[in-house]
Amino acid sequence: MIEKVFLRCGKHMYSRNVLQQVQQFYNSPTTNIKIGTSINAGDPSFLGIQTSFSSELKFINKECYDSLPLFRILDSSKHVRLPEDFKLDEQTFIRMYRKMITLNIMDKILYESQRQGRISFYMTNTGEEYREAGVLLWRGHSIRDFMNQCYGNHKDTSKGRQMPVHYGSKKLNFVTISSPLTTQLPQAVGTAYAFKRSRKGVCVVCYFGEGAASEGDAHAAFNFAATLECPIVFVCRNNGYAISTPSLEQFKGDGIAARGPAYGIYTIRVDGNDILAMYYATRAARELCIMEGKPVLIEAMSYRIGHHSTSDDSTAYRSINEIDQWKHHTPIIRYRDYLESVGLWCEQREQELNKCVKNSVLLAFAKAEKELKPCWKELFTDIYHTMPKHIRKQMCSMEDHVTEFHKYYPLHLFKQT
């Protein structure tokens, strides 16, 4: 099944069937490119490419070949046929939907919380329920953990030193999200290379947007991953906009997936609004990545329904009609239609789930808001294993300041040492 899904690239990796297909493609009348069927035995084989020669002068652009296909499972028909090796029990199908609804409701409550001035910042996942927060929720991160992080209280594992929605969990092997764009890509490749050296039989999964793929770090990461043969799965969510910049203004080629074969990376483009296709492709990518110890690139085509963040008003750069059109094709709507078609869901269960989840989120929300903030001294801890003199000097200076001007600070809202 993997052979049918992924593109194989790079020298000495093409099968005879693949080479025949490539030759048929380039000899087709639509491309008007002729490739000889034989190569002179005396001709050299240039390093790094699958060498072939042509007597016709022609420059290549994206119009010379078909766009990479879009893998999906949930189509518009009522009778969806799952792949034969797609084996999930009913409980797992339902759990996937529950997590998507939970994330959606949590988004709405925390978004309004920011608008009310209760937290400083928030980013929703509407239309992209498979992205980082959804993955962390699926792995077992509790609603209370999400709330504590967004409120930055003393129960937040990052001790209030991260912006809201910058989640992380050592227990769940989830590296903390950071704001600088694209820094996670070369870091993830470095981690994958360490895994390769340790021979642990595991891989890294790295999430990023198509906007991040426009940064130089993305190209460096792809090249390092390919040349060093690192076990990493790159998941690019191409949601159409990098904050306020449409994808059409970011690149002119065939999206992000087209870069994979160019770097020598196994690649697939997936319908990101199809949660089953994302699950199936990601599982296959992981298996391929670990089995061969090489990188895989997944481009998940989706659409960001909400604003980029609470610092953004997307109606300034896209029409409301465009947003409304995509609201009818979200991952939740498409997946619910499938569950109903196979008798696993109904309107009554929908109402019960929404009520239950909303109560749970509001309860966690209320508790997180009342928790004390971390002790101010934790501003200086966890920077070095042993606190150096200059950091200790800063902490003592801060302590003297707080002692002298304590009446000007709401110290009762902070946890004491």
Residue 375 DSSP label: P
Q: Residue 154 maps to which CATH number?
A: 3.40.50.970
Q: Are residues 286 and 217 in the same domain?
A: yes
d(CA 379, CA 415): 13
- Cβ count near 214 (within 10 Å): 18
CA angle at 363 for the pair 354 and 156, rounded to the nearest 5°? 115
Q: Give the per-residue pLDDT at 90.
A: 96
Residues in the chain, pLDDT under 50: 1-5, 7-19, 21-23, 25-26, 29-38
Asked, for residue 74, whether it belongs to a domain, the answer is no
Residues 260 and 112 in one domain: yes
- Do 94 and 170 share a structural domain? yes
Question: What's the CA gap between 6 and 2, in Å, rounded?
Answer: 6
Secondary structure E strands in 160-261: 204-209, 232-238, 241-242, 245-246
Q: Give the C-alpha separation, 159 to 66, whole Å.
A: 50
Strand partners, 241: 246
Pick the catalytic residue from 113, 141, 210, 308.
308
Cα separation, 60 vs 253, whole angstroms: 12
Check whether residue 281 and residue 385 sit in a common domain.
Answer: no
For the four alpha carbons of 139, 218, 382 and 365, in that order, the dihedral sign comes to: negative
Of 158, 309, 341, 360, the active-site residue reads 309
In a domain, 402, yes or no: yes
Domain housing 119: 90-370
Which is the catalytic residue, given 179, 311, 319, 397? 179
Whether residue 122 is found in the same domain as residue 233: yes
Whole-Å CA distances, 277 to 86, 197, 273: 10, 32, 9
What pLDDT is attached to residue 18?
A: 40
Query: pLDDT tens, 107-158?
Result: 999 999 999 999 999 999 999 999 999 999 999 999 999 999 999 999 999 9
Question: Is 45 an active-site residue?
Answer: no
Q: Tens digit of pLDDT for each residue in 39-54?
A: 566 777 788 887 778 8
CA atoms within 13 A on the CB side of 223: 5
Q: CB burial class (10 A; 0-12, 13-18, 19+) of residue 332?
A: middle
Residues 406, 335, single domain; the answer is no
Same domain, 328 and 391: no
Are residues 352 and 399 located together in one domain of the fold?
A: no
Predicted pLDDT at 49: 82
Per-residue confidence (pLDDT) for residue 6, from 0 to 100: 52
- Number of domains making up the chain: 2
309 is known as an active-site residue? yes
What DSSP assignment string belongs to 173-195? TBPPP-SSTTTHHHHHHHHHHHH
Q: Which amino acid is at 69?
A: P
Q: Which of 3, 90, 112, 399 is catalytic?
A: 112
173 within domain boundaries: yes
- Catalytic status, residue 128: no
The answer to the question of residue 267 being in a domain is yes
Q: Report which of 10, 49, 7, 6 is spatially closest to residue 264, judged by C-alpha positions.
A: 10
112 is a catalytic site residue: yes
